[in-house]
């Protein structure tokens, strides 16, 4: 699965095509599916979906939830883990709660604002 409706569509098309070519070179049957409108149909007897989708829809748990509902296996992490990882604030909170060291951070709501006090860039 490649492409999709996110702003990272072009990168996904490129990486998905590279994966499809590599799988074909190993003798696998491959169908390239582009859910450009957020909808998709899988070929009958789909064995596994290789997710090469980037950004919203592909990495936020949406497509993983749809594939789970269909009972179709896929590469990558589960719907719940995808949703958590896509929310950087929640992911950092979960990592910190579980004792994993994380870098200092701050949340910036206005992309046009200057650097917050105390934040230094290398």
Q: Which domains does the chain have, with CATH numbers?
A: 9-88 (3.40.50.20)
SS3 of 74, please? strand
Least confident of 25-39, 50-64, 81-95, 96-110: 96-110
Predicted local confidence at residue 80, as pLDDT: 96
Mean pLDDT for all residues in the chain: 92
Task: Please calculate the CA angle 23-29-35 and round it to the nearest 5 degrees.
Answer: 85
Residue 92 backbone class (left: φ over 0; alpha: ψ -120 to 50; beta: rest) = alpha
Residue 7's alpha-carbon distances to 11, 30, 33, in angstroms, are: 9, 25, 17
């Amino acid at each position: 699965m490649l492409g999709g409706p996110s702003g990272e569509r072009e990168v996904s098309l490129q990486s998905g095509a590279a994966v499809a070519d590599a799988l074909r070179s190993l003798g696998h049957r491959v169908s390239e599916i582009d859910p450009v409108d957020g909808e998709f149909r899988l070929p009958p007897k789909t064995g596994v979906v290789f997710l090469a989708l980037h950004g919203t829809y592909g990495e936020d748990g949406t497509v993983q939830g749809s594939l789970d509902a269909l009972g179709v296996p896929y590469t990558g992490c589960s719907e719940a883990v995808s949703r958590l990882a896509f929310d950087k604030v929640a992911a950092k909170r979960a990592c910190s709660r579980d004792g994993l060291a994380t870098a200092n951070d701050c949340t910036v709501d206005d992309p046009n604002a200057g650097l917050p006090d105390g934040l230094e860039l290398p």
